Chains A and B, each alone.
Chain A
Amino acid sequence: DAGVTQSPTHLIKTRGQHVTLRCSPISGHKSVSWYQQVLGQGPQFIFQYYEKEERGRGNFPDRFSARQFPNYSSELNVNALLLGDSALYLCASSLMGWDPTNEKLFFGSGTQLSVL
């Protein structure tokens, strides 16, 4: 089975532009979460989506938005890019079946976004 896949792997944008990042979860997983990892830091929680609905949001501005599709894949959109948005964006999938023995997050390799 394929793991969590993300595209693109690398992206270069300029300030003020918009970007869309994509994620496909592990087959059978219904929940997708997005994390931002700035160089030298641990990942920070942005969103969690389950069954196409936003279930939780971290401390990120409204420029960050996401959606989940019927096949459980997800897009992260960032508008009006700032230099500080340069980071590795990680997608994670989980079953979200409320079974404590299965609530583990599996991460993709990430999309490295550079804002110039």
Chain B
Amino acid sequence: GEDVEQSLFLSVREGDSSVINCTYTDSSSTYLYWYKQEPGAGLQLLTYIFSNMDMKQDQRLTVLLNKKDKHLSLRIADTQTGDSAIYFCADLMNSGGYQKVTFGIGTKLQVIP
């Protein structure tokens, strides 16, 4: 079955860059996503990348995709305390007429002032 793996915890100093990594197993993934979840809140779609792209940049966010190694990363430049949250890597598969998103366990980002 599909599997998405990511590290559990990352701590960075305010102003530094954060890099959150993720690996996935499903080679038929069409989209890969990064979602942000703050305490007690739902999921906020941060950014996404289509599976035929290598990189996507969106303001402070850079997504890199290595399709050969099934590796996805999210880089947050100039990390701020407001970036402290849990970040979920997820992949979308269109299968048998429906969409299924498989999430990783989430990486908790702690930003130290």
Is A105 part of the contact surface with B, judged by Cβ < 8 Å?
Answer: yes
Contact A48 B100 (CB under 8 A): yes
Given A42-B4, A103-B31, verify A56-B100 contact (CB < 8 Å).
yes
List, in ascending order, chain B residues with CB within 8 A of A110's CB.
Answer: 42
Collect the chain B residues with CB atoms within 8 Å of residue A35's CB.
101, 103
Chain B 75-113 against A: per-residue CB contact (8 Å), 1 yes, 0 no?
Answer: 000000000000010101011111111111110000000
Kindly identify which residue among A55, A56, A107 contacts B42, using a CB–CB cutoff of 8 Å: A107
Report the count of interface residues on B (CB-CB < 8 A). Answer: 28
Question: Which residue from chain A places its CB closest to the CB of B89 in the assembled complex?
Answer: A42
Whether the pair B100, A41 counts as a contact (CB closer than 8 A) is no
Chain A, range 49-100, C-beta contacts under 8 Å to B: 50, 55-56, 58, 88, 90, 92, 94, 96, 100
7 contacts between A and B (CB under 8 A): A33-B99, A41-B106, A42-B4, A42-B104, A43-B101, A103-B30, A106-B45
Point out residues on B near A: beta carbons under 8 Å. Answer: 4, 30-31, 33, 35, 41-45, 48, 50, 88, 90, 92, 94-106
The 5 lowest CB-CB distance pairs between A and B, nearest first, are: A56-B98, A42-B103, A55-B98, A109-B42, A107-B43
